[in-house]
Structure 1
């Protein structure tokens, strides 16, 4: 890389521009090929808590389309549902028993796209990976269709006792 840069400094301006363009292209390609995509890192956050705390796990809709269903899950549990919110209310039927009466949406109206999860009285058993998923409705000229998404937010919750 240093050799290329040295050549750029000592060459004509046309050749210099081509070499700079090549270097930039190499840098962009190498950053795209190394590691996880930037989108994944942006949507994953870590939160620490102590037992007994109430915790907000943040999640926001990616656009202005209304959410039909909001689903918070913990993939390591069976059933994995932490909160399923549909038809403007929580659906406790397929919810993991350890979260009953301890979770709710921060704003049931989802004002400004806020679909954050409030988890009350956390314990060390609540530590884990939480995923926020939404289904949204898209209106087209001919019909309405439901759009489902991969997780739009992943929260890694770490609940540890203090010494």
Structure 2
């Protein structure tokens, strides 16, 4: 990844079973797409299947905030971009976008994830050997600024 660029997943094709009776991607499958693309980013950070199998440590999602921006249809091909917003000793704060191959944003997801010992399961600190990769991405992605949709809350604004 060149410095100052988002991580971008491999292309993801829609599956027929994901399309609902309205003719577009069902809301549940936006999560599947984010999960597939996000897993690629987690592997890039050092938290992939090998990490889980060998160390019995993994990443669990604690909270997600999705914004549905534009419909996705069966014939669409997308990628997921990921940005590491922040991390502390046990948590990751990431921001992801589903991007259509034509360049438009279909959805965004802000995610808070936990580093978990699978033997508990319990939340545990990141091992020292993964911290340099987290520091690298945090610094590189900080140059991009905080996306507009980070930190949003849900509610009806009253006058």
Q: TM-score, normalised by structure 2?
A: 0.25
Quick check: which has more Rg, 1 or 2? 1
